Amino acid sequence: MNPNLELPWVEKYRPKKLNEVVGQKIIVQRLKEYVNSKNMPHMMFAGPAGCGKTSCAVALAKEMYTDHLEQNFLELNASDTRGIDVVRGQIKDFARTLAFNAQHKVIFLDEADSLTNDAQHALRRTMEKYTKTARFILNVNYSSRIIEPIQSRCIVFRFSRLQETDLNQKLNEIAKAEQLELDEKALKAIAYISDGDLRKATNALQGASILGKKISEESIFNVSSRAKPVEIKEMILLALEQKFLDVRNRLDKLMLEHGMSGEDVMVQVYKETLDLDETILDTKKKIELVNIIGEYNFRLVQGANERIQLEALMAQFMKFGNKS
Ligand SMILES: Nc1ncnc2c1ncn2[C@@H]1O[C@H](COP(=O)(O)OP(=O)(O)OP(=O)(O)O)[C@@H](O)[C@H]1O
Ligand SMILES: [Mg+2]
């Protein structure tokens, strides 16, 4: 089959059971206890992207309601339905009728941090009123965006970025199922570009697989518009040696050949700066540079010209080399 027509692997390999979720051990264990007791509190799943929040909510519901999922489980993506109408209409209608062959229904609001303030207040009343028949799971990236009275009604589970071993476990499973050759170096590259986000990791793997069954470090960096760490490191070293023209050539290569955006480059410069050996750049200088990177990053986000900002940032690095 043409791999372009295939289901995205993030959906194809989304965990169907809690046992298939990697990492987040303590959370998964608690959720299994809820399944066993067929009862659960209102919950909030908070944490960074791609670490299993939606997957856990869906797997929990599937295990809890096996045959009666549709009658008892309502899934809404709050970013499509941010307003109060949905809370007053669809959610209320679902919440107020009795659960089918179960103690309660579950209403799952994905990306609930995009609910408007009014909608959150309406939701709070709905949660209170229908506690006998319905439980809520709210997924958020930032729990602070949810009003306090809702937070205090929920048990908050904080999901963390996935560890490299957890990413590897899942990636190896996918590689096996898709008959890919995935070596140590490629796995390292995926871990580097994905920052503990398994969605990003899986997408990179699927992207690289279009180039061939053998997944290499190169192909991962190519499809993810990221430079190899060493390329960025070399650029920083050139800057510290005050070789401005060479730095500019490197920037050309990164932005034109790899198609990296200004922000992509800056994020990697930040990472590599922190990783530099103490003999090259001591902690005190690193702290000052991180502060400077923060400032330039802010300018980029505000829409300043990215090429100029990057060159200016690298010019700042020149002040920190051993020659000066
Ligand atoms: N802990 C995990 N175990 C197994 N697979 C995972 C895990 N985390 C993420 N994935 C994979 O990554 C994809 C995205 O995960 P999921 O939708 O659960 O992320 P999320 O935490 O809800 O992210 P977001 O905050 O962006 O909504 C899933 O389809 C799944 O394949
Ligand atoms: Mg999600």
Give the model's pLDDT for residue 323. 57
CA of residue 264 to ligand 2 center, whole Å: 23
CA of residue 115 to ligand 2 center, whole Å: 15
Q: Is the CB of 112 under 6 A from ligand 1?
A: no
Q: Is the CB of 141 under 6 A from ligand 1?
A: yes
Q: 7 Cβ partners below 8 Å, 6+ apart?
A: none
CA of residue 54 to ligand 2 center, whole Å: 4
Q: Is the CB of 196 under 6 A from ligand 1?
A: no
- Strand, coil or helix: what is 155? strand
* pTM reported for the whole predicted model: 0.85
Chain-centre distance of CA 194, in angstroms?
Answer: 8
CATH number 1.10.8.60 is the correct assignment for the domain at 164-223:
yes
Q: For ligand 1, atom 5, name the residue with the nearest CA.
A: 21
Q: Supply 183's token pair.
A: 């070596």
Q: Supply 137's token pair.
A: 């799971």
All structural domains of the chain with their residue ranges: 24-158, 164-223, 229-318
Distance (Å, rounded) from C-alpha 52 to C-alpha 59?
Answer: 10
Ligand in nearest proximity to the CA of 199: 1
CA of residue 53 to ligand 1 center, whole Å: 6
Residue of 39, 31, 37 whose CA lies nearest to 15:
31
Number of CB atoms found within 10 A of residue 111's CB: 19
CA of residue 209 to ligand 2 center, whole Å: 25
For residues 44 and 140, is the Cβ–Cβ distance under 8 A? yes
Ligand in nearest proximity to the CA of 75: 2
The one-digit pLDDT tens for each residue of the chain (324 residues) are 555 567 899 999 999 999 999 999 999 999 999 999 989 999 999 999 999 999 999 999 999 998 888 888 988 886 676 677 777 778 888 888 887 888 889 999 999 988 888 889 999 998 998 888 899 999 999 999 999 999 999 999 999 999 999 999 999 999 999 999 999 999 999 999 999 999 999 999 999 999 899 999 999 998 888 888 999 999 999 999 999 999 999 999 999 888 889 999 999 999 999 999 999 999 999 999 999 999 999 999 999 999 999 999 999 999 998 755
Ligand in nearest proximity to the CA of 28: 1
Q: Is the CB of 50 under 6 A from ligand 1?
A: yes
Distance (Å, rounded) from C-alpha 31 to C-alpha 23?
Answer: 13
Give the fold, CATH level 3, of 229-318. Zinc Finger, Delta Prime; domain 3 (1.20.272)
CA of residue 46 to ligand 2 center, whole Å: 10
Q: Is the CB of 171 under 6 A from ligand 1?
A: no
Q: Supply 199's token pair.
A: 């969605």
Q: Is the CB of 9 under 6 A from ligand 1?
A: no
Ligand in nearest proximity to the CA of 201: 1
Give the model's pLDDT for residue 299. 95
Q: For ligand 1, atom 6, name the residue with the nearest CA.
A: 52
Alpha helices in 41-83 (DSSP H): 53-65, 69-72
Alpha helices in the chain (DSSP H): 9-12, 25-37, 53-65, 69-72, 84-86, 92-96, 117-129, 148-151, 164-177, 184-194, 198-209, 217-223, 229-240, 244-252, 262-275, 283-301, 306-318
CATH number attached to the domain at 24-158: 3.40.50.300
Q: Is the CB of 24 under 6 A from ligand 1?
A: yes
